[in-house]
Amino acid sequence: SQTIHQWPATLVQPVGSPLSLECTVEGTSNPNLYWYRQAAGRGLQLLFYSVGIGQISSEVPQNLSASRPQDRQFILSSKKLLLSDSGFYLCAWTPGPSTLHFGNGTRLTVT
């Protein structure tokens, strides 16, 4: 069966420090991969999505970037974190147009 792993679960980082969040999917190939951010426990904001290795689409221009170095690996990065980057980051995958499956999320606090 397919599973999605996302880590770390929580992260506290100072302003100006770099960021790397990792997400991997097991049990499938060529998934569509997504990074969402959720602020204040409410709505989801799509940050990036990828339909294949090296193919990244950005939905919202900001301080973050994403990369997909391998088929089932999706990384969210920042060179210098801002206070406004705090939030709950969710990785998700789908094999196609149907159900989106989410990881357990990373709670990022920028201090």
Binding site residues, other proteins, CB under 8 A: 6, 34, 41-44, 46, 49, 59, 88, 90, 92, 94, 97-105, 107
Q: Give 17 or 104: the residue with its C-beta nearer to other proteins.
A: 104
Between CA 12 and CA 15 the distance in angstroms is: 10
Identify the CA nearest to 76 among candidates 21, 1, 30, 16.
Answer: 21
Residue 81 identity (one-letter amino acid): L
Q: Give 19 or 91: the residue with its C-beta nearer to other proteins.
A: 91
DSSP state of 104: -
Shortest reach from residue 111's CB to other proteins, in Å: 19
